[in-house]
Chain A
Amino acid sequence: MAGIAPADLAALLIRLVFVVVLYVLVLAVLVTLRNDVLAPAARSAPLPSATPRRARLVLLETAADGGAHGRRASHGGGDSPGGSGSAGAPAAGGPNGASGCVIVLDGSVTVGRRAPSDVIVSDDSVSAKHARFSAAGDTWRVEDLGSTNGTYVNGHRVERSAALHSGDVVSTGMTSWRFESGT
């Protein structure tokens, strides 16, 4: 009864190794996940509230009540490598966070109720593709994209496009924005 065949001993050892490597894998993954959970605290922290480089839109009111704070994506092209400037800063909103939301304008930005608009507003009075903000030389213009309810600057309907000055109030449907520039 005493002797164990070498093959059996080998098999026993390999069985143990099998279990050990399984748990080594589990541990390795656990460590990776732990590092992942601990490390990206910085990543999920709010982006620094960057000062707008050129111009921005401040949401005044919208029928899409509820939260509207957040950040915006910068884009790959243009002159914002690595992303210092173009991150839109969440401004502290009202109680529901709807007003005060800030959209940084750089390049051309379209507003509408559906993708592929850059800024999507869940407000039924906003057309799917409603308006486009773009810079022509030194001035910013807003262009109506054939919306149903029209685009207004300080209460005047925009026929095709209109120049914007800092402080202008732009309405797209029931949603209105304050245009700010020149910082």
Chain B
Amino acid sequence: MARSLRLTPAGSGLRRTAAPPAARRHAARWRWRELALLLAAVLPALVGAVLLSVVWERPLDDTRFWPIYGFLGLVLASHLVLVAARFRGDQVLLPLAGAIAGLGMLLVTRLAPALAPRQFIWAVLGTSLMLAVAIGPWETRLLERYKYSSAAAGMILVALTLLFGIDPNGSGARLWLGTRSLAFQPSEILKVLLVVFLAGYLVEKRELLTTHLVRWGPFRLPPFPYLAPLLAMWALALALLVWQRDLGAAILFFGVFLVMLYVAVGQAWYVAAGSALFLGGGAVCYALFAHVRLRVEIWLDPWLDPQGRSYQVVQALYALGSGGLLGAGLGNGYPLYVPAVHTDFPFVALAEEGGLASSLALLLLYALLVSRGLQLSLRARLPFNRLLATGLTAVLAVQTMVIIGGNLKLVPLTGVTLPFVSYGGSSLLANFLILGVLLRMSHEEAELEERT
């Protein structure tokens, strides 16, 4: 019976909060738009499988292709589950993510066929998690209460990784927890926890960050107690960079943090100051630590050591260059010359074998996914939900930019995954979790809308 609304001093007024799960059940309603888009979404991976079967001269029902078919079936099954659960939320997110992840399964099958069944199992877990989150009996706004718990959980994860981290595949950074055969990458979960914390914290404190400014020399800053958590974020990013050698996670976390700070506070100078701080910290790290210097030097001039330290980057550039407009055709190129292509460079593999046309299409799919996420955040009524959606979408966006930028040698190469595409279980799970939360939020909004 809660009819909640909120008087905020923010100037944006009374907001309706999500009502508890519907007391009355709705009639089942088919999700036609989702179905139509899904039919278009499964086609690229399906056509890709046909192409591989021609090039590899293997029958279409070869076991190699089962993970692809299995995954496409999984996406369609998710659709049926959503219909059966009388899910009212967004109808575009699932087809988009399904298409991107379908291309991912196709690329993993192409690049590392032996790993594809494993990736498929992770996809089963991921979609199950997504569905559970999307239709489960909970509300996204309840996450606001767990902001400090999630910050604490994140810190514990970082500490555990620092202490007990392992490096199962020789990437030079101990970023995994677990055993060699079953390792899990905490930074993937950490990014979700971080967004929950930041959304809760910023909703509560954004007033203080803009109004109660005190003079600190030439600057007007919020009082130290309110500034401290923000500085802690900066310290966390640098700590990841220095001790975990995880440049990707550092850039990702700090980028998402700046996006959320800007959206919450609406003052560009925070972003400018934050970026300056990060660049300053990065410059100090560059001067002090060899592994940071190496990354930057490889980025600035990969041709200094093409057979050695920058072999991966140089091979990726060759692969990109040979792609051309339409590419060599799936299965016809040589993307396997790029080390770790299935985790770090799937975009390059697509660019080589599918050409500019296919890789641009993939970029467009990401852009559409991000724009849909931001649209959801604009429609949300609770400030917390707005920030949550913005943050989760920013995770996907920043991560995509950082890794594709690294692939294209626009920014230093980092080890973050390409969302939904790269081989990697933790990453797939985390991305489907993000998708589930966004779906859940859209469902709550739709229910509210139907009632008014």
Contacts and interface: CB of A to CB of B under 8 A. Distances in A.
Contact of A30 (B36, B50, B362, B368): B368
A106 B126 CA distance: 43
Q: Is the interface of A mostly helix, strand, loop or mixed?
A: mixed
A17 B17 CA distance: 47
B326 interface: yes
B7 interface: yes
B389 to A, nearest CB: 16
Nearest to B57: A7
Contacts of A109: 3
Given A32-B33, A33-B372, A75-B3, A15 B326 contact: yes
A138 interface: no
A18 B23 contact: no
Interface in A47-78: 47, 59, 62, 64-77
Contacts of B12: 67
Nearest to B33: A32
Interface string A116-127: 111111110000
A7 B357 CA distance: 22
A164 B432 CA distance: 52
A18 B51 contact: yes
Interface size class of A (residues with CB under 8 A): 35 or more
A118 B5 contact: yes
Contact of A36 (B4, B354, B375, B448): B375
Interface stretch (B91-99, B170-178, B271-279, B422-430): B91-99
B114 interface: no
A24 B358 contact: no
Contact of B452 (A24, A65, A74): A74
B6 interface: yes
Contacts of A108: 1
Contacts of A26: 361, 364-365, 368
A19 B7 contact: no
Contacts of B54: 7, 10-11, 14
Contacts of A29: 37, 92, 95-96, 365, 368
Interface stretch (A96-104, A139-147, A154-162): A96-104
Interface string B88-117: 000110011001000000000000000000
A74 to B, nearest CB: 6
Given A19-B357, A74-B451, A76-B22, A120 B7 contact: yes
A122 B51 contact: no
Interface string B21-47: 011100000000100110011011001
A17 B358 CA distance: 11
B1 A107 contact: yes
Given A74-B3, A109-B3, 17 more contacts: A12-B329, A18-B44, A18-B330, A23-B361, A29-B368, A32-B91, A32-B92, A33-B372, A43-B449, A66-B11, A67-B11, A73-B16, A73-B17, A75-B3, A115-B17, A118-B3, A118-B5
Interface of B: 1-17, 19, 22-24, 33, 36-37, 40-41, 43-44, 47-48, 50-51, 54-55, 57, 91-92, 95-96, 99, 326-327, 329-330, 332, 354-355, 357-358, 361-362, 364-365, 368, 371-372, 375, 448-449, 451-452
10 contacts: A7-B54, A11-B51, A28-B36, A33-B375, A37-B375, A68-B8, A72-B3, A73-B448, A74-B3, A83-B452
Interface of A: 7, 10-12, 14-19, 21-26, 28-30, 32-33, 36-37, 43, 47, 59, 62, 64-77, 83, 87-88, 90, 96-97, 101, 103, 107-109, 115-123
